[in-house]
Structure 1
Amino acid sequence: MTRATTPPAQPPPNPEERAKARSTSLEIVVKQRWTRTLVQAICWSAAMGEIGVVLALQMPRAPHVRTVLAELCAEGQPQNIRATPLFFLGVLVTTVGAYIRWLCYRALGKMFTFEMSIRRDHRLIVDGPYSLVRHPGYTGILMTVTGIVMMYASPSSWARECAIFSTTVGQIAAMAYLSVVLAITVGLILRMSKEDAAMEQTFGSTWDNWAKKVPYKLVPWVY
């Protein structure tokens, strides 16, 4: 998740570069640093909570184990926490999504920005993951956030077995995560058409030829 939601260390586009590619009103959610920090914090909290309970169960005689379990699993059945096929599928989806995202960072280099823009020396990248779909970076981030839900909200997870979603903090965290992810998902889907239009206007027939070879936006042979 951290890899997928952290942009490369590149300077943000200037107003002139952003003006060349007007995005949607949800752009403000996509580019905000606090949204990335919030999502990362929720994911890391879920991971550390689950790790803490599992370790406590494996070391019943260690000091403060009862305190740890009381704080992290006040209700429910912590002994039922285990890795399920759905959890492993979530790990796979998250890992593949983050890897795709990293490939996009590497392919685009300084042209990769969270803000929609056309750089002054922008080039059209048509190889690597961009030889399969036109917006693989979006595919990667959507896979990552979906895989996280599969991992930490599945049956036998810490959040489910310790009734975290019945607590005020758990409900706020879940609503915050889902709200941000929904806004980002809708924003990216709406943004794809505007991004395609901006690239077509900038690169003309070169973009047209690439779009004919790569007609899919997110998933090969599907969409």
Structure 2
Amino acid sequence: MVAERVAFIAPNRPAPKGEEMEKFGRADKVTRTATWFPRISLGVDYICHLCELAAILAREYPSPLSDRVLATLFKDPSAAERLEMSPIYLAGCILLVSNGVIRQWCYDTLGTFFTFQLALFKEHKLVTSGPYAIVRHPSYTSLVMGRLGLALVQVFPGSYLHESGLLETRSVAILVGLWELWIIAIVVEVITKRVPREDGVLRQEFGRQWDEWAKTTPYKLIPYVY
């Protein structure tokens, strides 16, 4: 939960509208939703985690209160026995923690230049150190890791959402499906549109300095892959 908060809550105030943002053209999904979507997403994730924690505690410490908790959280209270830290769940946890660590590294390296909106400030500098010496867009690498990690810990067998029976309710299944589609749409837009747009604006702004950086750091998101 700590890693998720680090990754999904902006470290700085939103970039001011005006000249700094106009260089990137029309605002993309991330920019348009940056002030509210991460907090809603974090709230949804926390609810899932807290329900899972409550279910595990109720399962491990039987009592009349525990029985009521399990009856509230599950269609079939005995399904709480299937909650487990499977290899898939563990992989998701590793991705989430790695996401938080990488994102904090990006925050520390960029400082006040890091915003969820596409923006260039008057005093902007091209930062090529830290994680930006490994790939040019490490914060987006961590975004993909974090979203994949959440999917692994929330919807696969052994997770609360999967075992609770909630997904057997059509309306809940539709909402979860739409939510995941929205997340996928954001990730796809980041990879296919935002990354090239950032590179284009930074290259135009910093010229030869960006070209030299692109030569020494040729990969956008994944070293030796992309």
Shorter-normalised TM range:
over 0.9
CA contact 1:4–1:98 (8 Å) conserved in 2: yes
Aligned ranges for residues 187-206 of structure 1 at < 5 Å? 187-189=189-191, 190-206=193-209
Which residue of the partner structure matches residue 75 of structure 2?
A: 74
> What whole-Å deviation, never above 9, does each CA across 1:21-70 have from its counterpart, x for those lacking one?
225643455x4332112211221111011111110011112x42121111
CA contact 2:105–2:130 (8 Å) conserved in 1: yes
User: Residue 71 of structure 2 aligns to which amino acid in structure 1?
Assistant: A
1:213 aligns with 2:216: yes
TM-score normalised per structure 1: 0.92
CA contact 2:99–2:146 (8 Å) conserved in 1: yes
Aligned ranges for residues 23-172 of structure 1 at < 5 Å? 25-29=28-32, 31-61=33-63, 63-75=64-76, 77-168=79-170, 170-172=172-174
Q: For residues 79 and 97 of structure 1, what CA distance do their matches in structure 2 show? A: 29
Q: For residues 26 and 92 of structure 2, what CA distance do their matches in structure 1 show? A: 31
Q: For residues 102 and 137 of structure 2, what CA distance do their matches in structure 1 show? A: 11
- Seen in structure 2, the aligned counterparts of structure 1 residues 136 and 23 have a Cα distance that, compared at 3 Å, is farther
User: Residue 70 of structure 1 aligns to which amino acid in structure 2?
Assistant: A
CA contact 1:23–1:195 (8 Å) conserved in 2: no
User: Residue 212 of structure 2 aligns to which amino acid in structure 1?
Assistant: N
CA RMSD of aligned residues (A): 1.8
User: Residue 52 of structure 2 aligns to which amino acid in structure 1?
Assistant: E
> What whole-Å deviation, never above 9, does each CA across 1:115-156 have from its counterpart, x for those lacking one?
101111000110100001000010111111110111111211
Q: For residues 224 and 189 of structure 2, what CA distance do their matches in structure 1 show? A: 23
CA contact 2:7–2:103 (8 Å) conserved in 1: yes
Q: For residues 12 and 26 of structure 1, what CA distance do their matches in structure 2 show? A: 15
Q: For residues 209 and 39 of structure 2, what CA distance do their matches in structure 1 show? A: 37
Q: For residues 210 and 110 of structure 1, what CA distance do their matches in structure 2 show? A: 21
TM-score normalised per structure 2: 0.91
Higher relative contact order (CA 8 A, sep 6+): 1
Q: For residues 173 and 95 of structure 1, what CA distance do their matches in structure 2 show? A: 26
Secondary structure of 2:36's match?
helix
Secondary structure of 1:171's match?
helix
CA contact 1:133–1:219 (8 Å) conserved in 2: yes
Q: Which runs of no fewer than 5 residues in structure 1 stay unpaired?
A: none
Q: For residues 173 and 103 of structure 1, what CA distance do their matches in structure 2 show? A: 34
Which residue of the partner structure matches residue 184 of structure 1?
A: 186
CA contact 1:13–1:113 (8 Å) conserved in 2: no
> How many correspondences in the alignment?
221
Q: Which runs of no fewer than 5 residues in structure 2 stay unpaired?
A: none
Residue in structure 2 matching 1:3, options 6, 28, 31: 6
Shift, 1:92, TM fit:
0.4
